Structure 1
Amino acid sequence: MLDHAERVAAARSAIDYIYGRTEQEQAVPVPNCPGWTVYNAASHIGRVGIAWEEMITSSPDDPESRARGYERSGRQPAGTPKAELAAWAHSAIDHLVDDPDRQCYFSMTGGEGTARLWAWHAASELGMHRLDVESALGHEHSMTPVHSMTPVQALDAADYTCRFFLQAMRRVLERDPGRLTARLVDAGSEVGSEVGSEVGSVNIEPLPESALPVAVVVEGPPIQVLLGLWGRPHTGIEVTAGDPEVWEHWRTLPSEAFQFGTWD
């Protein structure tokens, strides 16, 4: 797993990659996010940076900070230059480096969080949007410039996705698809592993009150598993045990629960 400094670096790397695209690249549609261009993805990241900063700098018992943050972001003019959007995004990350254990409001749980937890969130979500843009532009999926970290970062982001992101999605929809186990298998030797060795696995347990007997086990390359967990197009994932419908129900959860508009 990544440590706090590596997560901060991964978040900044994703920001720099997305805002480093040319004017021509900014106009390219992003199929993973219907209705978006690369510029819309950049606008989304900049604007949520404003909302994140409001929450990151607010106390855990201030649930209104989320509404304030998104109200502030919504007041920004359309067509904001990408340099300004990047500054908004980096400004939020700046607040994660003073004291990782500083308590603050965290949107995924609707309450108590820390700067350390926000860094995990930022590395995971911004890393996912980097994958979205890489897919749109036909670039190799790297997640970070250091390719030796790719499987580890994908595992770290997938673990966050299962522990917090998808939990929030099922709370919004009041739906529990069942037990999920996802095994991330590295097909190469990027981290010195043998071909086909398991990088790690992530799990989602049924809610206590549901006690659903349905379960599924899936297996695939680290980045592809991460894409699948976020409901993105993916390849190479196999259902190795259990009910395939459970996997499909989890995959559809993010888009059903919440989808940002294009803003610009």
Structure 2
Amino acid sequence: MLDHAERVAAARSAIDYICGRGDEEQAALVPNCPGWTVYNAASHIGRVGIAWEEMITSVPEDPESRARGYERAGLKPAGTSTAELATWAHSAINQLTDDLDRRCYFSMTGGEGTAGLWAWHAASELGMHRLDVEMALGHEHSMTPTQALDAADYTCRFFLQAMRRVLERDPGRLTARLVDAGDAVGTVNVEALPQSTSPAAVVIEGPPVQVLFGLWGRPHSGIDVTDGDPTVWEQWRALPSEAFQFGTWD
């Protein structure tokens, strides 16, 4: 797994990559995010950076910080330059260099979080959007197997849990084995809810980046269901787009 400094570095690198594309690349469509161009992806990470910063600097007992943050983001003008969007995103990451255990509001739990947890969130989500843009532009994926494992673990522990809470639906237990060129990288899990009485479970296996694509509900390749019920995997894959989907912002 990555340490805090590595997560911060991965988040910053994703910001610079997405916001650093030229005009022609910014106009390219992002198939993994219907309706988005690369510019829309840049606008998204810049604007959520504004919302993140509001939450990162607020105490866990301040749930209104999320609404305040997105309201602030929505007031920014359309057509903002990618350089300015990068500044907004980096400003949020700047808040993650102090005490990693500092308590703050965390959107994926609906309350309790820390600066360290926000760094993990940023590395995972911004890394995912970087993968989306790399695929859209035909660029080789830069995410390493270790980074993909770290992002997949975050996705299972927090992102998919939040999607499950929003939809009030529990597909069952999911185990994902990440394998790179035949070598095991690691395993991540989503446990069934404690009150669940369903035995539904599935085990999947595939390349690290492709597993991450699948967990986020993106198109993927090379993933095999090695045990359990394939419909459980399909139900998990459907959660992200069903639970929440950002618009294009600009």
> Do the structures match in fold with TM over 0.5?
yes
CA deviation map 1:123-153 (0-9, x unaligned): 000000000000000000113xxxxxx0000
Partner of 1:193: none
Amino acid in structure 1 at the alignment position of 2:91: S
Among 169, 173, 190, the alignment partner of 1:175 is 169
Amino acid in structure 2 at the alignment position of 1:257: A
1:258 aligns with 2:244: yes
Partner of 1:205: 191
Amino acid in structure 2 at the alignment position of 1:43: S
Amino acid in structure 2 at the alignment position of 1:15: I
CA deviation map 1:101-134 (0-9, x unaligned): 1111000001111100000000000000000000
Partner of 2:231: 245
Counterpart-to-counterpart distance in 1, 2:101 and 2:191: 27
Query: How is 1:77-116 mapped onto 2 (pairs within 5 angstroms)?
Result: 77-116=77-116
Partner of 1:220: 206
Q: TM-score, normalised by structure 1?
A: 0.94
Partner of 1:16: 16
Amino acid in structure 2 at the alignment position of 1:234: H
Amino acid in structure 1 at the alignment position of 2:202: V
CA deviation map 1:66-111 (0-9, x unaligned): 0000000000110001111000000000000122111110000011
Partner of 2:153: 159
Amino acid in structure 2 at the alignment position of 1:134: E
Counterpart-to-counterpart distance in 2, 1:98 and 1:83: 25
Question: In the TM superposition, what is the alpha-carbon distance from 1:169 to its structure 2 partner?
Answer: 0.1
Provide the secondary structure at the position in 2 that maps to 1:95: helix
Provide the secondary structure at the position in 2 that maps to 1:201: strand
Question: In the TM superposition, what is the alpha-carbon distance from 1:212 to its structure 2 partner?
Answer: 1.4
Question: In the TM superposition, what is the alpha-carbon distance from 1:211 to its structure 2 partner?
Answer: 2.4
Counterpart-to-counterpart distance in 2, 1:211 and 1:13: 43
Q: TM-score, normalised by structure 2?
A: 0.99
Counterpart-to-counterpart distance in 1, 2:152 and 2:47: 24
Query: How is 1:122-141 mapped onto 2 (pairs within 5 angstroms)?
Result: 122-141=122-141
Count residues in correspondence.
Answer: 250
Gaps of 5+ in 1: 144-149, 188-195
Identical positions, percent: 84
Provide the secondary structure at the position in 1 that maps to 2:36: coil
